[in-house]
Structure 1
Amino acid sequence: MIPTSPIAVVVDPTGCDGTIPAIIPSMQHPYGDIPELTNLEAGRGIVRIPVEQDVPFTPRVRALVDTPGVPAAQTDHPVGTGVACLSRSDSHPVRTCPGVFHNALRYVWQLGRDPRFCETVDRHTVEVLMASALLHDLGHWPYCHPIEDLKLPGLPPHEAFAAEFLSDGSPLATVLQRDWNIEPGEVLDVLVARTDTPAMRLVPSILSGPIDIDKMDYLGRDSLHCGVPYGRHFDRKTA
């Protein structure tokens, strides 16, 4: 179970017998010098989103989110046509991307305690995952998933549109290179999972998989705003 405040308290992996959790300062964490993890622990530069999430918005995060065209490029809705009958669902990508980003930070903090993960995923790749979490709906057009499932001839996949937004010289590519030291193709590798290396088999699965950081975000938020008890406390139900 992921603790509510993963930066403040980390359970010792050897303490599965109920021993007192160990406090691990961020400076001892292999990814503890990443600014967003540092700010999350210190409570600096954060924005509050439902459900009770404090998300660090450093200058480079804000620059990425505020890049011209990015909000318009992320228009898909996780519940699809269900929004017609669940009008209070609140998982438009403009609102969920900070939540998915927050989950990415929580995952990274916990996984960073496992030396096998650290041997596979270096600091730079962690930052690529963080940027990809903010841009995970890039190129999604309204109802693209159910329409793509129809296998209509000549219909390009939404990843093709994501590649356009990440093309060389685009505003988004400029921000990634200038503020994140990330090449646009690295983000596309996470969004499309096209590179077959141990790290790039693992990292995309965090963002897109059976239980991923995207689902863990929008299920809880939609459940809250629709007034139904689904998608919340799933950690307890699977324990």
Structure 2
Amino acid sequence: MPTKQNNITPSPLDQAAAWLHAAQNVAALTGAGISVGSGIPDFRSSGGLWTVFSPEEYATIEVFHRDPKKAWELYRVLGRTLTGKQPNAAHRALADLENLDLLHGIITQNIDNLHQQAGSRRVFEIHGDHQHLQCLQCGNLVPVTPEHYHTAEIPLCPLCTFPLKPNVVLFGEDVRELDAIHTFIAACDLLLVIGTSAQVYPAAALPSMVYQQGGRIIECNHERSLPASLYTASSRRAALFLQGDVVRTLPQLAQTCRQQ
């Protein structure tokens, strides 16, 4: 007697886990949404940093050179927002996937260092980090302390006395590690897009780069943000969407991967 065919469609979690197991070089692109669960608001959301401080008025490299005292009004608020925050379950899930050898590196647009705190070892910080202050004159890096964000004094470089700025990329500055990121992405056959709309370049170009070289994409967001063409490609299923809060969906994905 012929057996019945199993036509059960796998759940998005099961499909995503299968894609991870099948891939050879997996990268994750993360944005502000992964850190909201750690108490760090999205800067662009209602009540976020950019609704209080206009980026053009406070967050450009030209403003820092012209009026570092004004620029530090923003930096102090930013520093106090980030200080003391801890990784959440989504950060830890990515570290778990790395330990399972199912994730091989993270490209983050965040500056909060939470991926490293969670245990991730290969992290490209495209916008810099808030763990250090940077001297634009001599290149010195100074470890940041809470006192830097609770004093009215502008910190000066201990080597050349030039005003220090947080080691983050301001508008008008080049992003960090781009050559290394492109080398990493060139071998990527699966990209996780997590907590980001992927609209700001150069990070916005990465999903298309992966797709064009034959790779797949798993988007983890509240709503779809990637181009519809990635979800409707007739030649192959190129993208998968895991909808919901990444603090919930990423641990579920890691657990599903362990069970497969």
Q: Which has the higher helix share?
A: 1
User: What's the TM-score, normalizing by structure 2?
Assistant: 0.25
**Which structure's relative contact order is higher, taking Cα pairs within 8 Å and 6+ residues apart?**
2
User: What's the TM-score, normalizing by structure 1?
Assistant: 0.26
Looking at CA atoms only, which structure, 1 or 2, has the larger radius of gyration? 2
